[in-house]
Amino acid sequence: MGELIVADEHVQIFDLWRERVERGLRIAHVDFHCDMRGLLVDRGRGAAWLVDEGDPRVRVIDSGNFLAHAVARGIVAAVRWVHDRHGGRRYDVGTVKYESDLTALPHRLLHRLRGAPETAVEFEETALDAWTGLRPGEELDVDWDALASAEYDEAKARRLVAEFLDRDLGARPERSYLVYSPGYSHADRSRFERFAEALAKKLGAEILRLPPTATAEPARSAARRGAEAVERAVVLGLRRIGIY
């Protein structure tokens, strides 16, 4: 029987990987967000590196960058990021950078000048409605906000959940993950729990629930929250016209 690991936050999955000394995982990451803040991926060369480990938003591991650190440390060797068409980098800030991004150019030049280390990675991004399911050897990682994002209305969330449970997922993984992501997902926890039970049944898996993390996010001042709101509006505006 497989294992479905259920957690509140994705950083708990990173802690579990470190505890189990995992290496070379292949992950189908079904998530509104990439969770790779601070990572630059050169898709043509199959290489990745953290762009600025001096920045606390990169250095400190959290649910928004856990996958970046997992790739940089060799815990994860392949990522297929799957999200709804209303989702992904166009609708988010603090995301993974690609080699083709305008803002990636200075980071690429500095990386080359410094001869800094990098990690081999296989990376793909695909829309949820185009995803053909799991490949042999992939582990399934589902963030509840991929299906029930706080940005989706009730009808859309119900449709995405039903379609996911009806979908042919292909190979049955030995291990899968399901994360609630409070604040980013619909607040109805009971629906999440029903989905967890249904997904476990679909995968033929036993549920393992991780205890909540004791780490609390530091409080932000009103000035910082205001600055972040301005930054978000500017970044999303640029992304709407194709500037990343």
- pLDDT single digits (tens) 83-139: 999 999 999 999 999 999 999 999 999 999 998 899 999 999 999 999 999 999 999
Contact partners, residue 54, CB within 8 Å, separation at least 6: none
- What is the 3-class SS of 174-242, one letter each residue? CEEEEECCCCCECCCHHHHHHHHHHHHHHHCEEEEECCCCCCCCCCCCHHHHHHHHHHHHHHHHHHHCC
Q: What is the pLDDT of residues 154-183, one digit of tens each?
A: 999 999 999 999 999 998 999 999 999 999
pLDDT over 90, % of the chain: 85
Long-range contacts of 53-57 (CB under 8 A, 24+ apart): 57/94
Q: What angle do CA 177, 33, 213 make, to 5 degrees?
A: 50
- Residues 206-229: pLDDT tens digits? 999 999 875 545 555 767 767 778
Mean pLDDT score of the chain: 94
Could you tell me the pTM of the whole model?
Answer: 0.93
Question: Which residue in the block uniquely carries the two structure tokens 């016209």?
Answer: 241
First to last CA, the chain: 43
